[in-house]
Amino acid sequence: MKFDIGVILASGHEILSGLALTVLIWIAGSALGLGLGFIVATLRRYGGPLVNLGLAIPVEILRGTPFLVQIFLLYFGGPFIGLSLDPIPAGLLGLTVYGAAYYSEIFRAGYQSVPEGHVEAADCLGFGRIQTIRHVLLPEMALIVLPPAVNMTVILLKETALLSLITVPELTLTVQAIGSQKYAFLESLFVLALVYWALVEIAGQLGRLAEGYFSRYRTART
């Protein structure tokens, strides 16, 4: 069996366009998911028991079912309930909502990690709720939230590969298509594995840099 990775690399510009879409959907999905997750966690903290329960249920459903089932339901089931999205918006929405469920749990743990006394102190100083979140809660929980959030963001990068199954022309779909056109199946999978591996390593390094940046004023706990 001959193995010639050049056959795949000859379609460099197509690979780059798939890669660009993967990175774009990943960054947009993570950013939106992070924002939505923060809103969900904040509503659960301040919205009272009913809101808390009402949000806990979808979060548990999203965390308890495979991402693949979620995007199939959204993409193939959506039109039957009046939600007909094209592959890219459906993929982005799916990734955002899925990520938000996990991010919201990370922020919830973050909120819980801040001692009540600090919130009370902010109260005494006349801080409003938003000021308290902005100047007390968020900075204090950053170190707790960052490692799992970085981890989740890297997981979301790998989950984007599943969007190929709802025909989003991202990296996996693009490289597989090149592989079948040129009958270079194994080569295409090698290229895919190497590109994802490199992306995940780079994302992990960036995450660690961010963790270092946010902990620069942190002194050791006694």
In the complex, the residues that contact other proteins under the rule CB under 8 A are: 1, 3, 60-61, 64-70, 72-73, 76-81, 84, 86, 158-159, 161-162, 164-165, 167, 169, 172-173, 176-177, 179-181, 183, 185-186, 189-190, 192-193, 196-197, 200-201
Cβ neighbour number for residue 17 with a 10 Å cutoff: 15
Q: Which residue lies nearer to other proteins by CB, 138 or 165? A: 165
Which of 110, 93, 215, 82 shows the shortest CA–CA distance to 166?
93
The distance of closest approach from Cβ of residue 10 to other proteins in the complex, given in angstroms and rounded to an integer, is 17
Query: Radius of gyration of the chain from Cα atoms?
Result: 21
Q: How far is the CB of 192 from other proteins (least distance, A)?
A: 5
Give me 201's structure tokens.
């390593």
Distances (CA, A) of 43 to 31, 49, 58: 18, 10, 14
* Closest distance to other proteins from the beta carbon of 80 (Å): 5
User: Which tokens hold the place of 120?
Assistant: 């009370």
Identity at 76, one-letter amino acid code: F
CA dihedral 71, 32, 167, 163 (to 10 degrees): -60
Cα separation, 201 vs 74, whole angstroms? 30
What is the smallest separation between the CB atom of 102 and other proteins, expressed in angstroms?
Answer: 11
Q: Provide the minimum distance between the beta carbon of 135 and other proteins in the complex, in angstroms, as a whole number.
A: 30
Nearer to other proteins, 59 or 136 (CB): 59
* Residue nearer to other proteins on the CB measure, 27 or 193: 193
Q: In whole angstroms, give the CA distance from residue 96 to residue 93.
A: 5
Smaller CB separation from other proteins, 1 or 130: 1
Residue 39 is encoded by which pair of tokens?
A: 């809103």
Q: How far is the CB of 193 from other proteins (least distance, A)?
A: 5
81 vs 60: CA distance, rounded Å: 22
Give the residue with the Cβ less far from other proteins, 2 or 216: 2
Identify which of residues 133 and 159 has a Cβ nearer to other proteins in the complex. Answer: 159
Shortest separation between residue 138's beta carbon and other proteins, angstroms = 26
Measured CA to CA, the distance from residue 2 to residue 202 in angstroms comes to 31
Strand (E) or helix (H) holding 204: helix 185-214
Nearer to other proteins, 41 or 74 (CB): 74
